Chains A and B, each alone.
Chain A
Amino acid sequence: MSVPRPPSDHPAGALSGAQAPGARKVLVIDDAPDVRANLRALLRKWGFEAVLASNGADGLERLRQGDIRLVICDWMMDGMSGPEVCRAIRLSGFAHYVYVMLLTGRTEDRDLVFGLDAGADDFVGKPFDVQVLRARLQVGVRILGLQERLAEQNRRLKQSHDALDSAYQQIQHDLAAAARIQRESLPASDARIAPLRAGWLFLPATRISGDSFHVFPISADEIGFYHLDVAGHGIPAALLSTSLSRSLVPHTGIAQHTKGSREYLDPGDLLQTLNAALCSPDGEVSSYATVVYGVLSPHTGDGRYALAGHPQPLLLHSDGSVELLPKGGLPVGMFDTADYAAQRFRLEPGERIITYSDGITDCFDPQGRAFDIDHLCELLRVNRGLCSSALAALLRDALLAWRGDADLEDDVSLLIIERPEP
């Protein structure tokens, strides 16, 4: 045990910057009472609170109270050696980092390596130079401050990560709920439109879709159907899609209050109303949609429809030929001057009318080829022997196979309404 030189007359309180809590307390572990006393005097002079321990075990016990972050520890002691104390500190898993300086007369490289491997942060030679000890303590304080700031940043990052995570969970939850609500506005079965039959497919590009379609009874003599595709995807498109769906079904829509349920029997008028409601007053397009709306008598097969920028409905004849029904008007929500005239069609027994969104014909395979209308018509022709729901399921599989592993770029939907043979 060498006795350090007497403290210099350096002014007290020169050591500052101990921002980290606990960095003002220094634990001195040394079995030599004179060294402990000397270090205590120096530490006090520099503005530290000195806590003394005469052996490693007592020192470790004291550290467990958690209020000390800086340790000056002798290497050679009875009981635990300095490196053993270091190793014990590193293994104890304290909540805060503990900075350990070993006091040693050893200067061989392999001794230093041994001490560092054991977990020491720094060494101070023995007998120590007071100014060197002071400077090295300052390094320890600085490193603890740095470590504390990092820990604080990590805490903040974790807090904001947790907040984002919980917001994300909430959004996912809301989206799932929205998707559920949206699916509820699609037909549940074709029982309500008997004796007509129906089949459909619905593949949203995101969890919720700008596409929507439905087939529903309007009166004892007629059923209604619509298919719409709101511009854009995701939440804004889905919101508008859901609200438009409501206005297109009797007993839930706004049109009923203004014009009565007869409104639903005139497809041209209905689209006119929808267009007026959707066009923004400043005359500049904000949201728009393509729509087909039609009515059909299950018993006579007489129908009429109006078209707003939507793909032309297809008539699948019994012989497998596919007829494109005539074109219509502009999408709703663009021009308040747009005109929508209803057009007639006739569904013979054994025939089907098919409406779809352009997500089907614009679905690209990995080589960049579109699924296109000819492909769609060919599949309809070849598989016309299937019932409508099986036909829709087949188209769904064909489309997904066409797309390959990639996600859908656009919402995909298709509705088949069938007038069965008597």
Chain B
Amino acid sequence: MRLIHRQENGVDVVCLPERLVTANAGDARAELKQIIQAGSGRVVVNLGDTELMDSSGLAVVVAGLQTARKMAGDLHLAEMSDTIWALFELTRLHRVFQIFDDEAAAVRAFG
């Protein structure tokens, strides 16, 4: 898998795939970690393309957040669908992440 990734004002912006499930979660997790560790630790994960995320997919963004915070950075989420929001709400993870409606706001929030 190749995650779509670019940098904007020193922030790594990463898009996750359409389906983030057990089958590809391991690869996505390793790649996201690599991107974060190569950067500043300030990350925006755009979930605009992601339609399906299961419990393994959830672990990918949690691990990303943990990697970023270890670098004194943070991981912001942007553009998640209602279905994925429901998953974050159910697991109470919506209180752990900073979640934004659009990517630009998520990038700007890093100042």
Interface residues of A (CB under 8 A from B): 229, 231-233, 283-285, 288, 290, 309, 311, 327-331, 334-335, 358, 410
Contact = CB atoms under 8 A, between A and B. Distances in A.
Give the interface SS of chain B, mostly helix, strand, loop or mixed: helix
A288 B22 contact: no
A330 B90 contact: no
A232 B55 contact: yes
B53 to A, nearest CB: 11
Given A231-B58, A232-B55, A233-B22, A285 B90 contact: no
Contacts of B63: 284-285
20 contacts: A229-B55, A232-B56, A285-B59, A285-B62, A285-B63, A285-B66, A288-B55, A288-B62, A290-B91, A309-B91, A309-B93, A329-B92, A330-B91, A330-B96, A331-B92, A331-B93, A334-B62, A335-B96, A358-B90, A410-B54
A330 B55 contact: no
B5 interface: no
B18 to A, nearest CB: 15
Contacts of A283: 66, 70
A133 B38 CA distance: 72
Contacts of A233: 22
A129 B83 CA distance: 83
A309 B22 contact: no
Contacts of A231: 55-56, 58-59
Nearest first, the 9 closest Cβ-Cβ pairs linking A and B are A231-B55, A309-B91, A285-B62, A284-B66, A330-B92, A232-B56, A285-B59, A285-B63, A284-B63
B67 interface: yes
Interface residues of B, number: 16
Given A288-B55, A330-B96, A335-B96, 17 more contacts: A229-B55, A231-B56, A284-B66, A285-B59, A285-B62, A285-B63, A285-B66, A290-B91, A309-B90, A309-B91, A309-B92, A311-B90, A327-B92, A329-B92, A330-B92, A331-B92, A334-B62
B72 to A, nearest CB: 13
Interface of B: 22, 54-56, 58-59, 62-63, 66-67, 70, 90-93, 96
Contacts of B70: 283
A335 B90 CA distance: 16
B105 to A, nearest CB: 25
Give the most central of B55, B63, B92: most A CB within 10 Å: B55
B92 to A, nearest CB: 5
A283 B68 CA distance: 11
A330 B92 CA distance: 5
A309 B66 CA distance: 18
Nearest to B89: A327
A232 B70 CA distance: 25
B90 A232 contact: no
A328 B67 CA distance: 25
Contacts of B58: 231
Contacts of B56: 231-232
B63 to A, nearest CB: 5
Contacts of A232: 22, 55-56
Nearest to A331: B91
A99 to B, nearest CB: 51
B59 to A, nearest CB: 5
A288 B90 CA distance: 14
B93 A330 contact: yes
Contacts of A410: 54
Contacts of B54: 410
A311 B93 CA distance: 13
A409 to B, nearest CB: 8
B59 A328 contact: no
A283 to B, nearest CB: 6
A288 B92 contact: no
A284 B70 CA distance: 10
B38 to A, nearest CB: 17
A288 B62 CA distance: 11
